[in-house]
Amino acid sequence: MTAASRGDGLFYVMGPSGSGKDSLLRALRERVHPADPVVVAHRYITRPADANEASVALSTEEFRRRVDLGCLALHWQSHGLHYGIGVEIDQWLARGLKVIVNGSREYLAEAAGRYPALCAVHVRVRPEVLAARLRQRGRESEEEIARRLARAAQGFDVPEGVRVVEIDNSGVLAESASRLADLIGSVAS
């Protein structure tokens, strides 16, 4: 198994919806210099992409077609939507790049099964901050927000041997982005 196939250099960012993962990844992309060997992978998703996220919108049929054709390295379902990360990340890892993906806590075991050396980054926020962010973005009803808050309060399973680093994104985004940038600089070779 090569370093790339083990997932050396792969950073799997996860956290509750509304924790600011997309904002954090955008802030990280703004810090990356042209010569930095860092790539934030886009996600395929079966809903319209938000301007704040690095996503490509696909129909459910096109998403399934790409799964069947082997175009996705990682894919999962959450909240009635399909999410995926393209196989291009394998090429990027093979080139020695540090690759950051926006993943799912529920899919961590499957991701670690394919990339056992990945570094899981759990983005968390205080409950009152999460509630305010979910209301502000206006995607969910109050009932859906309550379900998301309850889900965020639950823990998640961490597979044996997987390193999880916590980043609190309740405060100033630039500080959280600095912590993520430091982590990426210190973990991957």
CA dist., res. 23 & res. 44, Å (int): 17
75-91: average pLDDT = 94
Domain count, the chain: 1
Q: Using an 8 Å Cβ cutoff, are 137 and 18 in contact?
A: yes
Two tokens, residue 151? 């889900």
Report the pLDDT value the prediction gives residue 80, as an integer from 0 to 100.
87
- CATH code assigned at 72: 3.40.50.300
Q: What pLDDT score was predicted for residue 66?
A: 97
Residue 86 annotated as lining a ligand binding site? no
Round to whole Å and give the CA distance between 181 and 189.
Answer: 14
pLDDT range class, residue 91, cuts 50, 70, 90: very high
Task: Name which of 30, 4, 185 is nearest 90 in CA terms.
Answer: 4
**Rounded Cα–Cα distance for residues 123 and 21 (Å):** 7
Q: Is 34 annotated as a binding residue?
A: no
Task: Identify the residue with better confidence: 7 or 16.
Answer: 16
Work out the mean pLDDT of the chain and round it to a whole number: 89
Would you state the pLDDT for residue 189?
32
Asked if residue 37 has pLDDT above 50, the reply is yes
Q: What is the mean pLDDT of residues 8-36?
A: 91
Q: Is 107 left (phi over 0), alpha (psi -120 to 50) or beta?
A: alpha
To the question of whether residue 15 is assigned a binding role by annotation, the answer is yes
Q: Which residues neighbour 156 within 8 Å (Cβ) at sequence distance 6 or greater?
A: 14, 105, 106, 108, 122
Residue 181 near residue 98 (C-beta atoms within 8 A): no
Beta strands across the sheet bearing 163-168: 38-40, 98-102, 10-14, 119-124, 163-168
Per-residue model confidence (pLDDT) at position 51? 65
- Is 36:188 a contact under the CB 8 Å cutoff? no
In the block, which residue shows the tokens 């909240």?
79
Mean pLDDT of 90-115: 95
Predicted local distance difference test score (pLDDT) of residue 188: 38
Residue 16 labelled as part of a binding site: yes
User: Does the annotation flag 185 for ligand binding?
Assistant: no
Q: Can you tell me the mean pLDDT for 22-30?
A: 92
The pLDDT value given to residue 127: 85
What are the tens digits of pLDDT across the range 108-158?
999 999 999 999 999 999 988 888 888 888 778 888 888 888 888 887 889
Residue-range definition of the domain harbouring residue 96: 3-187
Judged against a pLDDT cut of 70, whether residue 186 lies above it is answered with no
H/E stretch holding 163 = strand 163-168
Rounded to an integer, what distance in angstroms lies between the CA atom of residue 88 and that of residue 61? 21
Comparing CA positions, the residue from 180, 27, 37 lying closest to residue 95 is 37
Asked whether residue 20 is marked as a ligand-binding residue, the answer is: yes
The residue that leads in pLDDT, 5 or 168, is 168
pTM, two decimals, is 0.88
- Is 17 part of any known ligand binding site? yes
Size (the chain), residues: 189
